[in-house]
Amino acid sequence: MRALVKHHAGFGAELREVPIPAVGPGEVLVKVQATTICGTDVHIYTWDEWAASRVQTPMVFGHEFSGIVVERGAGVSHLQVGDHVSAETHIVCGHCPQCRRGEAHVCANTKIIGVDTQGCFAEYAVMPAENLWKNDPELPPEMASAMEPLGNAVHTALSGPIAGRSVAVIGCGPIGVMAVAVAKASGASAVIAFDINEYRLQLAKTMGATHLVNSREEDPVAEAKKLTGGEGVDVVLEMSGNAVAIKQGFSMLTYGGRISMLGLPTQPIELDITNDIVFKGAQVHGIVGRRMYQTWQQTAGFLNSGQVDLAPMITHRFSLEDYAQGFEQMVSGHSGKVVLYP
C-alpha cells in the first residue's frame, strides 16, 4: 500500500510502498477514506524539538482518519466488515488507576497512533477495535476524520457549564475555531474569538463567534472587559499555548470563572497565581484528548443534529501524493482543516 512515511530525523516525509499491516486479535483493518492534518503532524513533518524527542523514524505518521472496516481480528464482535468508523487515537492500557476509575483519557500509559505507533497517512490502518467509533454512513469521510479534533474542542468547551455564559476562545487554529462552534451550539451568551491571524478570525466568525479581537491590534484584556461590562469573561478556552496569550486569558477571567487549557506552551510560564487564580476563586482545567467515550457521544450528537457544521472548516483538499502542498498550507496559517485522500 501507499503510505506517507516520516523517513528520517529531519524535515519532510516520503510517500512509499509499505506492507498492509497485519490484523491481530482484538484489532480491525480499516480502508482509509480520508485523513486530516493535525498540528502534531506538522511538528513531526517539520521535525521540531518535540518531535525529535518523541518520534522514532522511520514510521507511518498521521492520526486523524476515517474509513471502512475491511477485516476483523479474532474476538471482534461489535464491528462488522463494511462499518464506517472514526478512530479514538489514544490507545490506553485499561489497567492503570486512571483507566480503572473511568478516566482513561488521562491513562498513564497512553500511546498515540502516528506518534508512538504506526499511523494513518496510508491506504490502510490497523486499530484496536475498542478505539473505533461507528459512524452514520451518510457522514462525509472528511467530517468523520475531523471528529477526533472536534472531540478536543468538545472536551475543552464542555468541561464546565457554558450555557448563558460569556466565552473567550484564545487561539483560532482549527480546534479553537471548532470550540467557537461548540460554545455557540451549547448556548453561550457571547463567544469572543482572539487571534493575531485575520484569516482564522474570519473563519471563527463563520463558525459562530459573536465578537472578534485581533490581539496584535487591540488589547485583549481591555476588549474582553469592555464586551462584558467590565466583569471579565465567565469561561476562557485557552487553545493557543502562547505564553503571553495564556497570561491574558487569566487576566480577562471573571471572579469565580473557569479556564480550560488545551494549548501546549513550549516553555514554563510564570503566572500571578495569587491574584489571577486564588483570589479569583478560578477553576483551572487541564484538557487531554477526549473522554472515552462520553466526548465521542457528545461530538456525534453535535454533528448528527446539525448543531455543529464542520463544512466551513474543511478548507483544503489534496490527494495523498500532494501531501507537501497540504503541509505547506497548514504551515501558512491560512487554512482550517486540510484533508488528504489516500
For residue range 277-336, list pLDDT tens digits in order: 999 999 999 999 999 999 999 999 999 999 999 999 999 999 999 999 999 999 999 999
Whether residue 159 sits in one domain with residue 136: no
Band of residue 106 on the pLDDT scale cut at 50, 70, 90: very high
- The helix or strand, by DSSP H or E, that contains position 132, with its residue range, turns out to be strand 132-134
Residue 302 within any structural domain of the chain: no
The verdict on 39 and 161 lying in the same domain is: no
Residue list, annotated binding site: 38, 63-64, 93, 96, 99, 107, 175, 195, 200, 262-264
Q: Are residues 79 and 166 in the same domain?
A: no
Could you tell me if residue 96 is inside a domain? yes
3-class state of residue 60 by DSSP: strand
133 occurs within a structural domain: yes
Residue 266: predicted pLDDT: 83
Q: Is the dihedral of CA 194, 197, 198, 204 positive or negative?
A: negative
Taking residues 261-285, what's their average pLDDT?
A: 95
Residue 10 sits at the vertex; the CA angle it makes with 340 and 39, to the nearest 5 degrees, is: 40
What tens digit of pLDDT does each residue of 195-243 get? 999 999 999 999 999 999 999 999 999 999 999 999 999 999 999 999 9
Same structural domain for residues 137 and 6? Answer: yes
Residue pair 261/241 in contact by the 8 Å Cβ criterion: no
The reply to whether 213 and 115 lie within a common domain is no
Alpha helices in 116-197 (DSSP H): 141-145, 147-157, 174-185
Cite the annotated binding site for NAD(+) by residue number: 175, 195, 200, 262-264
Q: Is the residue at 301 inside a domain? A: no
Average pLDDT score over residue span 243-255: 98
The catalytic residue among 36, 40, 156, 254 is 40
* pLDDT > 90? residue 7: yes
Query: Is residue 140 domain-shared with residue 210, that is, in the same domain?
Result: no
Is 300 inside a domain boundary?
Answer: no
155 and 281 fall within a common domain: yes
Distance CA 252, CA 7 (A): 44
How much is the pLDDT for 18? 97
Share of the chain above pLDDT 90, in %: 99
* 200, part of any domain: yes
Question: What number is the average pLDDT over the span 62-69?
Answer: 98
Burial class of residue 68, CB neighbours in 10 A (0-12, 13-18, 19+): middle
User: What average pLDDT does the chain have?
Assistant: 97
The catalytic position among 7, 8, 35, 43 is 43
Q: What average pLDDT does the segment 106-119 reach?
A: 96
**Percent over 70 (pLDDT), the chain:** 100
**In this structure, what CATH number is given to the domain that contains residue 315?**
3.90.180.10
Shared domain for 136 and 177, answered yes or no, is no
Mean pLDDT of 173-187: 97
Question: 210-217 long-range contacts, Cβ below 8 Å, gap at least 24?
Answer: 210/184, 215/245, 215/248
DSSP letter string over 82-129? T-EEEE--EE--S-SHHHHTT-GGG-TT-EEBTTTB--SSBSEEEEEG
Q: Domain containing 177 — which CATH number? A: 3.40.50.720
Residue 293: cis peptide before it, omega within 30 degrees of 0: yes
DSSP three-state, residue 230 = coil
Question: Into how many domains does the chain fold?
Answer: 2
Same domain for 127 and 157: no
Contacts of 268 (CB under 8 A, 6+ apart): none
Please tell me whether residues 218 and 280 are part of one structural domain.
yes
Burial class for 250, CB neighbours closer than 10 Å (0-12, 13-18, 19+): buried
Q: Is 40 a catalytic residue?
A: yes
In a domain, 296, yes or no: no
Q: Is residue 120 part of a domain?
A: yes
Three-state DSSP state, 210: coil
Print the domain residue range for 137.
2-146+310-341
Q: What is the pLDDT of residue 332?
A: 93
Give backbone dihedrals phi and psi of 248, rounded to 5 degrees, phi first.
-65, -40
- Residue 159 and residue 222 in one domain: yes
